[in-house]
Amino acid sequence: MALEALIFDLDGTMADTEEVHRQAFNAAFLEHGLFWDWRRPEYTELLKISGGHERVAAYIESLRLPENEKATLRELVGPIHRTKTRIYNELITEERVPLRTGVARLVREARDAGKQLAIASTTTAANVRQLITGALGEDMYYWFKAIVCADHVGHKKPSPDIYQLVLAELALSASECVAFEDSASGVNAARAAGLFTIVTPTLWTRQQDLTGADLFLHDLGDPDAPLDLRSSSLVGAPYLGLEQLERLHAAAMSATTDAC
């Protein structure tokens, strides 16, 4: 099967936004009169849980508190997450978080070659729009034919629901697409949907079990920021371009066919 579409996770994969998310969570806690402080090591562990709403809920369950106090805090999960989303969007607007190395280049290459583009993210739709328009511009936001977020499906990653909905909206099979992820839950979701998956972890996710991915790269590389020797050897070039991506995808599809 020829490669027809590139599907990107957002947070961590397209842009390393997790520090901004962490700051937004802590600011939201204060607005709600809670003196919780998610420090970096703690937030790194919480990132193993997909979805901000779910992270807050899991954190509450981990607290050593009487059941009646936990019950009160559970009622705050939704309001806290809505406050966090508002603060995050304000911070993203102010800071304009840049895309990770190679992302903008590969998106343009794929667009120029007539490939379809999509986003499969566990964040909210508002967060996706804010980041993409800030980093790429309003016009490029509309390059993505399908944008599926956590609020569009019943189950978040590592469930394959998000990817299955993306494939349905693109009207393509998994064998015609490539997924880009940065975390174990994302890799597991993409692979469960049958997608060839490339993982480019950040410092937040590098310690996770990413062995399910078809290809591990530290980033996608660029002409002025080439891949390390190991990665360039795997890719066959100083950076991952569409030509290399199509070759890797074709080899994987061929191997799958031979195995059958």
Residue-level pLDDT at 131: 83
How many other β-carbons are positioned within 10 Å of the β-carbon of residue 180? 29
Q: Residue 178: pLDDT band by 50, 70, 90 thresholds?
A: very high
Question: Do residues 113 and 140 touch, judged by C-beta distance below 8 A?
Answer: no
Give the mean pLDDT of 181-209: 96
Give the residue, 28 or 259, on which the prediction is more confident: 28
Give the mean pLDDT of 151-161: 92
The distance in angstroms from the start CA to the end CA of the chain is: 15
Residue-level pLDDT at 110: 98
**What structural domains does the chain harbor?**
5-16+99-259 (3.40.50.1000), 18-95 (1.10.150.240)
Q: Which residues are catalytic?
A: 9, 11
Distance CA 74, CA 195 (A): 36
Interval 203-228: pLDDT, tens: 999 999 999 999 999 999 999 999 99
Distance CA 218, CA 221 (A): 8
Residue-level pLDDT at 257: 67
Interval 122-152: pLDDT, tens: 887 877 888 888 778 888 889 999 999 988 8
Nearest Cα to 181, choosing from 155, 154, 208, 146?
Answer: 208
